[in-house]
Amino acid sequence: MVWLLPSIFKVNEYEKHMLHKKLIYIVLIVSFIACSSKNPGMSKDEIVRTLDEQAMQHETAVKAASAAMPEVTEDYTPPAGIKYRAKIETVGVKTLNVQAALKNVRSMKVSELGTLRIHRTGALVPMGGSLISVDEGYLLNSYQGIYLLDKDFKLIKQLFKNDVEFQRNGKRFFFQLNALLQSVYYNATHKQVQGVYTAYKHESNSSRTFLAFLPWDVLTAATEPLIEKDITSSVPLQGNLGHRVLFKFTTEGFMRGIPYSSRFYTNELKGDTLCYFDPTHSPDYPPSESAGSVRNGESHHIYDYQGKTRIRLAYDNTLYQLENASTLKAIYRLDFGSLQRADGQKVIGGSNVDDSYFVDRWLETDRHLFIKITKGYDSPNARKAKSVSLYSLIYDKRSGDFFALPPESNSEKPEFPYLTADGEPNMSFYPDGVVGNIPYTCLDAMKMKEKYPDVLKGQDIPDDELIVLTIE
């Protein structure tokens, strides 16, 4: 692997100051118009005082955001060594019997979770995305960039634009990633969006990667979506975040996994290593040319829950909570009983895994866990050949009931079971994500029309428009 230090886009202090003054000037103009229209009886002095106060508040917010960003030069090298010894707490872990749940089959209606709502976003994002809660509503993080949605999931504006070449031919997508912001995180304390920015050089099969910090005030005040050249604060990140590599920002910095392993580090934002974790002590499973296969049947699951980061490593049965940079606490453990569990070495080596079980999805709300399980390696060819079995499990935290939804019937190929449709709209549902304790699914209008042909009937809606389904 080639380790690259990126060319960091920085500006000097004078340029930063002038940028902030320009932003304040724009805000003052908008505020003057607003004050004059909403308060026609205000005197000139009152308007000036109001605008001065708003300008001061804005300047304070910008300074606070800038101060929260680490000052790192392009040639900065993190100090060697690891600051803390890892601690793993297992007392009080809740065990979930998967084997029993697969036998405990029962249906569940959509209305048992809440009211199903359909939200037309107005955002043309055909490849979907994930949602992040912010004070104004939600951030939509997609391949195309970052979008701001209001509390009703309606598009307000695009905040950041990735460099992606995209083309659609019917149901098929063709795209090339030239540069994108990924692993997006909203830091509410410092009022900034954090992300990992990767610019690919396809001609040389290389890339440069850095941590990017975008002040919230700058993002929301801009009249056009920000692009790479607008990133004024960043930290070099060695190596590329390849497919399925564990990475997540935390309140203390970030977590980063070692590819094809269950090992990972916690780091400060400057890159200083805080702690090293190896909770499973499982062998690594890097692909090799001689193995004849590069498939990877399971990925990690990582998300925030009630202000804490929770993580389930690939091929591991335990969900942990990151208590701090050096402490993992086991929260849930899956017990497969006599059922075979896959491991990374077996899968990556091309062994027969038809009788092995994989964890495909893990979502959590205050009331439920939503867990998808497969028997056999899941792929389009496996579904076509019906050589894989798909299960949707639900754990009710209040009652302790752990059960599987009935398998889908009348299907040409296996599909994950859904919650039973009832009420209005009469639609089946199973979440693909959770935001602010709200289960949701994102799909474009074309898929929506295909799966639920009667729901959007008579509406003039582009095929690429993103639809958000929520249970509230």
CA distances from 334 to 169, 257, 316, 444 (A): 41, 22, 9, 33
Q: Indicate if the pLDDT at residue 18 is higher than 60.
A: no
Average pLDDT, integer, range 143-167: 95
User: Phi/psi of residue 358, each to 5°?
Assistant: -125, 145
Q: Indicate if the pLDDT at residue 10 is higher than 80.
A: no
Q: Indicate if the pLDDT at residue 52 is higher than 80.
A: no
Dist. CA 152–CA 136, nearest whole Å:
10
Asked if residues 249 and 288 have their Cβ atoms less than 8 Å apart, the reply is no
Q: Indicate if the pLDDT at residue 287 is higher than 90.
A: no
pLDDT of residue 290: 61
pLDDT of residue 407: 92
pLDDT of residue 25: 44
Q: Indicate if the pLDDT at residue 221 is higher than 90.
A: yes
Strand order in the sheet with 116-124: 116-124, 465-471, 438-444, 433-435
Task: Tell me if residue 431 falls in helix, strand or coil.
Answer: coil
For residue 453, what is the DSSP state? Answer: T
pLDDT of residue 53: 66
**Confidence bin at 243 (pLDDT 50/70/90):** low
Asked if residues 272 and 265 have their Cβ atoms less than 8 Å apart, the reply is no
pLDDT of residue 281: 95
Which has the higher per-residue pLDDT, 115 or 19?
115
The residues, any chain, with a CB within 8 Å of residue 179's CB and separated by 6 or more, are 162, 163, 197, 198, 199, 200, 228
Average pLDDT, integer, range 30-35: 45
Q: Indicate if the pLDDT at residue 470 is higher than 60.
A: yes
Average pLDDT, integer, range 275-296: 80
pLDDT of residue 4: 32
**Confidence bin at 453 (pLDDT 50/70/90):** confident
**Confidence bin at 127 (pLDDT 50/70/90):** confident
Per mean pLDDT, which range of 21-30, 171-180, 364-373 is the poorest? 21-30
Dist. CA 377–CA 370, nearest whole Å:
20
| pLDDT, tens only, 391-427 | 999 999 999 999 999 998 767 889 999 999 997 888 9
Asked if residues 96 and 402 have their Cβ atoms less than 8 Å apart, the reply is yes
- Which residue segments constitute the domains of the chain, with CATH numbers given? 93-471 (2.120.10)
Asked if residues 418 and 429 have their Cβ atoms less than 8 Å apart, the reply is yes
Average pLDDT, integer, range 208-233: 94
| pLDDT, tens only, 247-276 | 999 988 999 999 899 999 999 998 899 999
pTM tops 0.85, yes or no: no
